[in-house]
């Protein structure tokens, strides 16, 4: 697929329209992601969980794997099992 804009402009435009902010993965988040219990091995999901924990942000998930993390108590918004 060919974009009508340079990739950086396309990303910036899409993020602004959706009112989304990209958060950096720092050393603390990477370490916490690696040290989370092995309920779920998807590295991207583990980074999402660690970021939510560090920043005390809610996580919205349709998957059930996130519910295994007691660390997310009070932060997880998910359907009931």
The pLDDT of residue 77:
95
List, for residues 50-79, the tens digit of each pLDDT value. 999 999 999 999 878 899 999 999 999 998
Alpha-carbon distances of 13 from 1, 16, 17, 45, 51, rounded to whole Å? 18, 5, 6, 25, 24
The pLDDT of residue 81:
66
The pLDDT of residue 80:
76
List, for residues 18-44, the tens digit of each pLDDT value. 999 999 999 999 999 999 999 988 999
User: DSSP string spanning 1-50?
Assistant: ---SS-HHHHHHHHHHHHT-------HHHHHHHHHS-TT---HHHHHHHH
- H or E stretch including 52? helix 43-55
């Amino acid at each position: 697929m060919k974009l009508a804009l340079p990739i950086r402009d396309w990303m910036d435009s899409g993020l602004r329209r959706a009112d989304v902010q990209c958060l950096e993965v720092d050393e603390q988040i990477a370490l916490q992601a690696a040290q989370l219990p092995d309920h779920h091995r998807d590295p991207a999901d583990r980074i999402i969980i660690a970021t939510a924990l560090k920043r005390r942000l809610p996580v919205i998930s349709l998957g059930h794997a996130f519910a295994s993390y007691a660390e997310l108590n009070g932060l997880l918004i998910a359907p009931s099992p």
